[in-house]
Amino acid sequence: MLKLLNQNKLLKVLSLNSISVAISFVLGILSTRIISVYLGSSGMALMGSFRNFSVMIKSIATMGISNSIVKLFVENKSDKKELSIIYSTFFWILLLVSFLLTCLVLLFSETISEFLFYTNSYKIPIQFFALLLPLMVINTFWLAIYNGLEKFKSIVIMQIISNVLIFLVTALLIWKKNIVGGLLSIAIGELLMVFITFLFVLKDAEYFKFDLQKVISSKYFNVIKKFILMALLSAVIAPFTLILIRNTIVQNYSINEAGVWDAVNRFSSFYMLFFNTGLSLYYMPKLASLNTDEEFKTELKSYFKTLVPLFIIMLIVIFFCKALIIRFVFSDEFSSINELLIWQLAGDFVKVITLAFGFQIVVKTMMKRYFIGEILFNLSYFLLSYYLLKTSAVEGVLQAYFYANLITFVLILFMFRKLFYLKQSKL
């Protein structure tokens, strides 16, 4: 087993990350239990709305810099002068964007609160989150550099410490302040991550030295622009689609039904965490270093031989143990998840095999393919949800998730159809 881990870097990265993921999984389960017991399904829905909003705003502010830094670092890692110019370009652009976004969110905080929560009573958590945006951007910038350096051990340790602290703060705030505390904990969690990363940056200061006097480089800004367009589309369309679907459920049924749907999504995020994190740590930097379709096809085979079988085994275990897991994770108010989960599991399976190609689209900045794929998935997800919700309630929304992923997978296979005609002898 040890020999296999040493020979297969993907497995080695995943095993290194497994400790962090295991801790995140346990803490996520416990925090979900706390939310379901203290806040109920309505609280689950409100926190889901704010989580979607915070992801959307943070993604807009960071503009996909993780992907672009990894790409540019791989291409210039031996040239410290160029890296300094790259880092400086990112820094000033992100600082400006985050400042403008902070002003906009503060200005429209009451309107945002009414859209997300159907009341302006929760504008304070929104304003607090907005004020922290510049720090979140800097944190994402630091983590992107760590990722480019492939300092996986440091990233994993930061994740572990941050997740433990966030859980403790979330539990305390929900216990003391109910739903307001839960909403505030989302923003405070971001602040804790900044603090932990900063401590590591101080320790590894030599990797973060760059000349802030440099002007923004037009050469690298042109590269960044492609990632910005891709990130902005994903940042807006994905979480906004979830918010629209949630609001549609509330309008047609109730906020409690929306909370059940959010609970299924939250449960899915736990087991998807292992694969998403592992892919970000290994698969994306690896793809960034590949130059030919033949090399990508070889890496693709490794993905389907190694990762996909592991994911299938995990889904099977979850399916047969779902009743026990749901009783442990959620309160009785969420018992209907037992009948709904199969559609989420099926959708996530299709999503994982689609990601094998999706990361290549992102890393190689295939703009047209990216835009078509993102728009098709989110549009089909919303339209199918709107239609199926009327006939099958929340189960219809989960069915829509599966069908939308399936439609996207067929499209991706069509986009990469030429890859399958490459002769084996070339590999």
DSSP result, 61-115: HHTTHHHHHHHHHHHHTT-HHHHHHHHHHHHHHHHHHHHHHHHHHHHTHHHHHHH
pLDDT for the residue 203? 87
249-256 CB contacts, 8 Å cutoff, 24+ apart:
249/389, 249/394, 249/397, 250/45, 250/118, 252/389, 252/390, 253/389, 253/393, 253/394, 255/41, 255/42, 255/45, 255/46, 256/40, 256/41, 256/42, 256/45, 256/333
Structural domain total, the chain: 1
Residues 342 and 354 sit within 8 Å (Cβ to Cβ): no
Alpha helices by DSSP H, listed for 279-366, are 284-288, 293-320, 322-329, 337-363
pLDDT for the residue 3? 47
What does the alpha-carbon distance between residue 185 and residue 27 come to, in Å, rounded to a whole number?
Answer: 14
pLDDT for the residue 213? 57
What single letter denotes the amino acid at residue 52?
N
- Model's pTM, two decimal places? 0.81
What is the CA angle 237-241-245, rounded to 5? 175
A 10 A CB-CB count for 426 gives: 10
Contacts (Cβ under 8 Å, ≥6 apart) of 223: 68, 71, 72
Which residue numbers in the chain have pLDDT < 70?
1-17, 64-71, 73-74, 76-80, 210-220, 223-224, 226-227, 230, 277-278, 280-282, 285, 365, 422-427
pLDDT for the residue 74? 66
What does the alpha-carbon distance between residue 277 and residue 271 come to, in Å, rounded to a whole number?
Answer: 11
DSSP 55: H
Which domain does 109 fall in, by range?
A: 2-426
Look-up of token digits 């002898």? 425
